[in-house]
Amino acid sequence: MLDLKNKKIMVVGAGISGIGAVHLLNQVGADVVLYDGGSKLSEDDVIKKLNGDKAQIILGEFSREYMEGIDMLVISPGVPIDNHVVVEFTAMISAPCPGKNTLTKKE
């Protein structure tokens, strides 16, 4: 099993799966960043969905600087694999991105 304690992990997508991933990552002590590029959510909406779980919330337009220090990416099933965030992270680690519902780890 991966030791995720104190690892900085970005979850891409604030839908049901992304919120579930944040919850599980909180349970194992990860430092979670939740990113959603959609324009329909407000930070208050996401905080309510998190139901007490902790995450740095980033909404809207993506900036490459958000990737600094990220150890792993969790991609929600509703996020296309060619999403710019996934492509940026994959380029940073110079490794193929496995696919939806998987964790992509920076070595």
- Which tens digit of pLDDT belongs to each residue from 21-72? 999 999 999 999 999 988 788 999 999 999 999 999 999 988 888 888 888 8
Q: What's this model's pTM, rounded to 2 decimal places?
A: 0.82
- Which tens digit of pLDDT belongs to each residue from 68-99? 888 888 998 888 888 888 888 877 765 444 44
Give kind and range of the element (H or E) at residue 43.
helix 43-50
Q: Is the pLDDT of residue 104 over 90?
A: no
Token digits of residue 56:
């740095």
Q: Where are the beta strands (DSSP E) in the chain?
A: 8-12, 31-36, 56-59, 72-75, 103-105
pLDDT value for 35: 93
